[in-house]
């Protein structure tokens, strides 16, 4: 089973689309459980609903190496430059969720700080997060190298994935993000509260991702990633996955109070 801890605003919805369109009703949307972290007990329940679970994704897949033990699974994830990621996360909450909290107040909350490290390690343990990415993750993608990341993932997955994709969540505009990144005080807060994420990102980029691109360069050259604008195919598996997760899985969670 592929386990994808989805760090917000890292192109994760595009990868989730690929997993849904590859595995259909074998894809589990962990966030339907509406709590964090998603645990082995939650996975056991999902396993009774999904006949052949092959992939699971969600923002609540926190430290799956601990919370899903003893399941045997393949870990993948994406990281993004932390300051941009955090500003984009706040912008998304304002635009789509109607958040009215000022940025300075939002970033002061612990759950919004160093989110990449916290999702990967389950805490603010930077060294644990580094070791997990290096030793336990099959694949670590970088949002700024999205195409190359998909090519690398396809190589590591032995060509199993349907790489047709499209963006499902696009910002109305980037004014909020740009204002945060261009404001000295907001930028100071971003750096202060994402110091661990900045180091994790540097480590993942320089010690894992770029060396992997070099190591698999010949294989990567053979992988074609369709341009999003050229995608005119059917989405049967994607739609089945979405319906099953919403109309079956989520409803059983509510009825059985899981």
Give the largest CA-CA distance in the chain.
52
Q: What is the pLDDT of residue 51?
A: 86
Quick: pLDDT tens for 247-258: 999 999 999 987
Strands 74-79 and 27-29: unpaired
Quick: pLDDT tens for 9-59: 998 889 999 999 999 999 999 999 999 999 999 999 999 999 899 999 999
Beta bridge partner(s), residue 75: 3, 137
Q: What is the pLDDT of residue 227?
A: 80
What is the secondary structure of 134-152 as a DSSP string? HHTEEEEEEGGGHHHHHHH
Calpha distance 200→79 (Å, rounded): 9
Question: CATH number of 2-256: 3.40.50, 1.20.140, 1.10.8, 1.10.1760?
Answer: 3.40.50
What is the radius of gyration, based on Cα positions, of the chain? Answer: 18
Q: What is the pLDDT of residue 72?
A: 84
pLDDT higher at 209 or 13: 209
Quick: pLDDT tens for 127-162: 999 999 999 999 999 999 999 999 999 999 999 999
Q: What is the pLDDT of residue 232?
A: 52
Beta bridge partner(s), residue 76: 139
Task: Determine the Cα angle at 78 with ends 214 and 59, to 5°.
Answer: 165
Q: Hey, is 52 helix, strand or coil?
A: coil
The average pLDDT across 178-200 equals 98
Least confident of 12-26, 108-122, 196-210: 12-26
The reported pTM is 0.93
141 close to 79: Cβ distance less than 8 angstroms: yes
Quick: pLDDT tens for 63-108: 999 999 877 899 999 999 999 999 999 999 999 999 999 999 999 9
């Amino acid at each position: 089973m592929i386990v994808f801890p989805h760090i917000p605003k890292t192109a994760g919805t595009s990868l989730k689309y690929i997993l849904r369109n590859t595995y259909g009703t074998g894809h589990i949307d962990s966030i339907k459980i509406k709590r964090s972290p998603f645990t082995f007990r939650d996975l056991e329940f999902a396993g009774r609903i999904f006949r052949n679970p092959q992939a699971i994704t969600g923002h609540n897949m926190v430290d799956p190496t601990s919370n899903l033990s003893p399941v045997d699974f393949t870990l993948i994830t994406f990281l993004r430059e932390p300051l941009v990621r955090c500003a984009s996360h706040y912008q998304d909450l304002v635009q789509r969720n109607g958040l009215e909290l000022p940025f300075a107040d939002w970033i002061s909350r612990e759950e919004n700080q160093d989110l990449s490290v916290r999702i990967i390690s389950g805490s603010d343990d930077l060294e644990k997060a580094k070791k997990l990415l290096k030793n336990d993750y099959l694949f670590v993608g970088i949002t700024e190298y999205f195409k190359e990341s998909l090519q690398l993932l396809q190589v590591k997955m032995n060509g199993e994935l349907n790489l047709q994709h499209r963006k499902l969540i696009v910002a109305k505009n980037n004014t909020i993000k740009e204002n945060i990144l261009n404001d000295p005080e907001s930028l100071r807060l971003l750096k202060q509260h994402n110091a661990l994420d900045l180091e994790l990102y540097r480590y993942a980029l320089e010690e894992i991702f770029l060396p992997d691109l070099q190591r698999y360069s010949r294989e990567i050259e053979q992988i074609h990633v369709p341009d999003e604008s050229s995608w005119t195919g059917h989405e049967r598996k994607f739609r089945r996955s979405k319906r099953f997760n919403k109309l079956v899985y989520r409803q059983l969670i509510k009825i059985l109070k899981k």
